[in-house]
């Protein structure tokens, strides 16, 4: 298992992989068991990138378990990183990338020090500029629903060199619209990843929903390969 200081690949290559995948599914559960069950159904249905939030109990153990079970074939990142300690624990767990809801300088510096791709949360041009000044090349646009795809287009005007990953309040039907607006990838939460599952039928229903989303909304797994930005 990869620990702190030993990311799976350099941040720029991780960013390329995320662009090819196109969608990061956010896991936010009340228990470790719920998080693992939901994650396993999603991965089994074809999801290639997960973000396990640190509001989930034992998030580090969830990440470590999923990384072991998938052997690096999918991306498993850490989300809702709100403290330096969170960033260290996430790196130790083997997280492929680190995501925070905001962008305080001390936290960004701690996340960057892990050697992993970091996606600090931003919403305004000033926040983007502060993040860029610390060496960040990619950001989480959050909550994305407040600005919409047109807001992203406006931000890309002065910041064409920043990779934006809009997250928060985005539905499955809106993903392609965000990608067409210039999103590097899109974060999807409860619209695709419920907090828990009960019984086999809900699990089957979730798997079917994921299959439909990957096939209908994204046009299949090859769509993002043709959309990767150079």
Write out the catalytic residue numbers. 51, 140
128 neighbors 104 (Cβ within 8 angstroms): no
* Gyration radius of the chain's alpha carbons: 16
What's the gap between Cα 114 and its chain centre?
17
**Spatial CB neighbours of 198, under 8 Å, sequence gap ≥ 6:** none
77 neighbors 96 (Cβ within 8 angstroms): yes
Helices within the chain (DSSP H only): 11-21, 32-44, 59-70, 84-93, 105-113, 125-133, 148-156, 175-180, 200-212, 223-227
C-alpha 84/C-alpha 61 separation (Å) is 18
Query: What dihedral do alpha carbons 110, 111, 115, 120 form, nearest 10°?
Result: -140
DSSP 161-210: TSEEEEBSS--GGGHHHHHHTT-S-EEE-TTTS-S---SHHHHHHHHHHH
The two three-digit tokens of residue 199, written as one number: 């019984």
């Amino acid at each position: 298992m990869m620990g702190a200081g030993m990311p799976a690949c350099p941040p720029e290559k991780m960013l390329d992989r995320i662009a090819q995948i196109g969608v990061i599914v956010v896991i936010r559960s009340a228990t470790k068991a719920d998080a693992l069950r939901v994650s396993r159904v999603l991965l089994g249905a074809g999801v290639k990138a997960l973000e396990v939030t640190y509001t989930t109990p034992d998030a580090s153990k969830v990440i470590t378990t999923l990384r072991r079970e998938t052997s690096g074939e999918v991306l498993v990142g850490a989300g809702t990183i709100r403290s330096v300690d969170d960033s260290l624990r996430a790196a130790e767990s083997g997280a492929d990338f680190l995501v925070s809801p905001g962008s305080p300088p001390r936290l960004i510096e701690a996340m960057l020090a892990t050697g992993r791709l970091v996606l600090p949360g931003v919403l305004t041009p000033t926040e983007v500029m502060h993040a860029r000044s610390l060496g960040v090349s990619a950001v989480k646009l959050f909550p994305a629903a407040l600005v919409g795809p047109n807001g992203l287009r406006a931000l890309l005007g002065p910041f064409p060199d920043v990779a934006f990953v809009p997250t928060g309040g985005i539905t499955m039907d809106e993903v392609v619209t965000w990608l067409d607006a210039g999103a590097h990838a899109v974060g999807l939460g409860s619209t695709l990843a419920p907090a828990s599952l009960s019984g086999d039928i809900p699990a089957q229903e979730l798997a079917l929903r994921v299959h439909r989303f990957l096939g209908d909304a994204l046009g299949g797994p090859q769509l993002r390969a043709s959309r990767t930005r150079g």
